[in-house]
Amino acid sequence: MDVSRGASHSEAAPSTGTTIVACTYKGGVVFGADGRVSIGNYIMNRASNKIAPLSEYIFLCRSGSAPDTQIISDNVRHYLHQASAESGEEPSVLMAANLVRLLNYNNKDHLVGAMLVVGWDKHAGGQVYGVPISGTLAKEKWAIDGSGSSYIWGYCDSEFKEDMTREEAENWVKEALALAMTRDASSGGTIRMYTLDGAGVHHTYIPGDQVPQFVGDLPFPTGNPGGAVLGSAAREGGMVIG
């Protein structure tokens, strides 16, 4: 995810640095995102939360410009709260997805946001909607977006199965994110995953040193970098390395 706001859309290609992944399974839905946030080539945060709650059981996975997708999530959350207060019922996932699509499309000349609307409701169970840049809307059994997604289309297509168990779906999302983080310089850091079903919301946080590694990965650093000898200030807690 990129927090910079530089040239207009006509002057530069949009950047969606991030990887977001979601899939349905028998009984619910699983989704997740990496934690890396950058300004150009500078990594400013490796543990950011790119998943915004829209209601109790509906979430927005964000990639693209951080402020653009944040303003969309804030507005949709407000509209859904109003609708819920007036009707006395929880909003549907489809309602949230259409609101995201409407805001994204009506402001397509000003916003850079590639998003996934993911949730669970009593009408249709677990659902995944893709809302790419410019604001179309597509309901999918699984969806990916962000710069890291281009590296994992083959994996996701070949490994996804209809009616997976919850454990299989969680492993599918985790491995897809880890593979993207291996190859995409704009994806990395930590992994946040959510599972939604009739029993509620379940959150999983995977620190960087516990993200699955693959052939060619550099090992996660441990101990002092390069075996450096630290000064007294560092030994006494006056300096943090890492």
Residues involved in catalysis: 18
Of 221, 144, 140, 129, the closest CA to residue 180 belongs to 144
Of 69, 58, 59, 81, the closest CA to residue 135 belongs to 69
CA distance 242 to 226: 12
